[in-house]
């Protein structure tokens, strides 16, 4: 397959140019399963592994290849050795589960992110959840599209209400309402799937991300799961992250539903989910206003006047605080890990000279 059809662009070409003739070939990661990766290169699909040097150059999990990544690999035949991950145009990542601050990339080089929720009521759609997803997507650099699935389970008059609630948060983000089951509205989602571009699905477990992939492909490539009757939550059916090719030349990545959403990054990522607050912030007296108790704060003034909803202000402030904490932890952890690795290398060098002499 031609590299452009896989999403290759000038951004990656510029990184590859100095390495042409080195025997390395570009390939795109289409799936990851532990240490083994499925990739697609110009010559076709292949299996790949990371080379030993990743142990030394990788500072954390995020430095390893993820689904959607462009890598440079060496080797012939069916097994390629990945030597390098090219810089990502965008990424969708989470703070790895387990309480740490390590970043895990769930999908790389995603152009459009379908932030998916379900219209069957219950706990699948909440304003606060949507805000969090939008901030995480914005932080990673992909453009969000809000997808409300299972409209077959939602009476027509209630749909307008959902649309209003979405618009009150992110009026300028495109919104699609559809049903993976009946196919209603699928075509308006297809309009966001462009040849050579990569889309990905994210959203809570059980909202129908995999069902939508199946509906778009017209065949059952992904398992779909049951939703628990007691709380209408999904069961985390999808655990693998995989890239699929649509007939029109677009690509899409299924990702598992996330249990916890902990946005990181800087406050600029909050803009997409809080446009009215971002707009007001531009009129605060101090450019670095924290909107907490500063004099001349336009945000606080609009909140007190009721022009900015109080729950929106609170959600904004607590997300901003959380993001600062995660970011600080990550920086500190990165510093500690680099130091430990340098010590380790120094020890190896010393050992080498002890055995081999100066």
Out of 90, 112, 210, 264, the only residue in the binding site for ligand GTP (CB under 6 A) is 210
The reply to whether 210 sits near Mg ion by the rule CB under 5 A is yes
Nearest residue (CB) to Zn ion, 241 versus 291: 291
Within residues 154-193, the interface with ligand GTP by CB under 6 A covers 179-181
Closest approach, Cβ 152 to ligand GTP, in A, equals 5
Measured CA to CA, the distance from residue 141 to residue 109 in angstroms comes to: 9
For residue 106, give the nearest of 250, 243, 206 by alpha carbon. Answer: 243
CB atoms within 10 A of CB 248: 11
Measured CA to CA, the distance from residue 309 to residue 147 in angstroms comes to: 24
Out of 34, 155, 226, 354, the only residue in the binding site for ligand GTP (CB under 6 A) is 226
Q: How many CA atoms lie within 13 A of 326 on its CB side?
A: 23
What does the angle CA 341 – CA 344 – CA 350 come to, to the nearest 5 degrees?
Answer: 145
Out of 5, 74, 190, 236, the only residue in the binding site for ligand GTP (CB under 6 A) is 236
Binding mask 246-265 for ligand GTP (x = CB under 6 A): ----------xx--------
The reply to whether 127 sits near ligand GTP by the rule CB under 6 A is no
Nearest residue (CB) to ligand GTP, 240 versus 285: 240
Binding region for ligand GTP (CB under 6 A) out of 85-93, 200-208, 300-308, 349-357: 200-208
The reply to whether 252 sits near Zn ion by the rule CB under 5 A is no
Measured CA to CA, the distance from residue 83 to residue 101 in angstroms comes to: 26
The reply to whether 264 sits near Mg ion by the rule CB under 5 A is no
Nearest residue (CB) to ligand GTP, 63 versus 152: 152
Supply the angle between the helices 310-356 and 298-305 in degrees, to the nearest 10.
140
* Partner from ligand GTP, Mg ion, Zn ion, none contacting 297, C-beta within 5 to 8 A by type: Zn ion
* Partner from Zn ion, Mg ion, ligand GTP, none contacting 181, C-beta within 5 to 8 A by type: ligand GTP
Nearest residue (CB) to Mg ion, 90 versus 224: 224
Measured CA to CA, the distance from residue 272 to residue 141 in angstroms comes to: 11
The reply to whether 243 sits near Zn ion by the rule CB under 5 A is no
Nearest residue (CB) to Zn ion, 24 versus 284: 284
Binding mask 288-327 for ligand GTP (x = CB under 6 A): ----------------------------------------
Nearest residue (CB) to ligand GTP, 112 versus 269: 112
Measured CA to CA, the distance from residue 171 to residue 219 in angstroms comes to: 33
30, 120, 142, 257 from 67: Cα distances, Å: 5, 30, 15, 16
- Residue 315, Cβ density class (10 Å: 0-12 exposed, 13-18 middle, ≥19 buried): buried
Out of 26, 68, 140, 208, the only residue in the binding site for ligand GTP (CB under 6 A) is 208
Residues that bind ligand GTP (CB under 6 A): 149-150, 152-153, 179-181, 205-211, 224-227, 234-238, 256-257
Residues that bind Zn ion (CB under 5 A): 284, 289, 291, 297, 299
């Amino acid at each position: 397959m031609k590299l452009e059809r896989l999403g290759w662009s000038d951004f990656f070409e510029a990184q590859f140019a100095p390495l042409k003739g080195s025997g390395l070939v570009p390939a795109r990661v289409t799936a990851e399963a532990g240490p083994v990766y499925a990739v697609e290169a110009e010559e076709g699909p292949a299996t790949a592994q990371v080379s030993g040097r990743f142990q030394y150059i990788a500072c954390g999990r995020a430095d390893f290849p993820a689904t959607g990544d462009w890598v440079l690999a060496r080797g012939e035949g069916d097994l390629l050795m990945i030597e390098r991950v090219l810089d990502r145009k965008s990424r969708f990542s989470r703070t790895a589960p387990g309480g740490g601050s390590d970043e895990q990339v769930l999908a790389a080089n995603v152009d459009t992110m379908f932030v998916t929720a379900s219209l069957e009521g219950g706990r699948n759609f909440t304003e606060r959840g949507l805000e969090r997803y939008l901030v995480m997507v914005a932080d990673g650099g992909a453009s969000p599209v809000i997808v409300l699935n299972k409209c077959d389970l939602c009476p027509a008059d209630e749909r307008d209400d959902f649309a209003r609630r979405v618009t009150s948060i992110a009026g300028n983000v495109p919104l699609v309402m559809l049903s993976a089951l009946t196919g209603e509205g699928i075509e308006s989602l297809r309009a966001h799937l462009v040849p050579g571009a990569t889309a990905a699905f994210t959203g809570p477990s059980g909202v129908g991300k995999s069902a939508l992939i199946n509906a778009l492909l017209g065949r059952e490539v992904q398992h779909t799961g049951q939703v628990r009757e007691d709380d209408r939550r999904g069961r985390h059916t999808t655990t693998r992250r995989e890239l699929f090719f649509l007939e029109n030349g677009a690509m899409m990545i299924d990702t598992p539903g996330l249990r916890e959403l902990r946005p990181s990054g800087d406050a600029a990522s909050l803009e997409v989910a809080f446009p009215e607050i971002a707009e007001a912030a531009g009129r605060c007296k101090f450019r670095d206003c924290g909107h907490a108790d500063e004099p001349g704060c336009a945000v606080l003034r609009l909140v007190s006047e009721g022009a900015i909803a109080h729950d929106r202000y609170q959600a904004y402030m607590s997300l901003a605080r959380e993001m600062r904490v995660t970011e600080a932890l990550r920086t500190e952890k990165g510093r500690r890990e680099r130091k430990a690795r340098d010590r380790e290398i120094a020890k190896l060098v010393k050992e080498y000279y002890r055995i081999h002499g100066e």
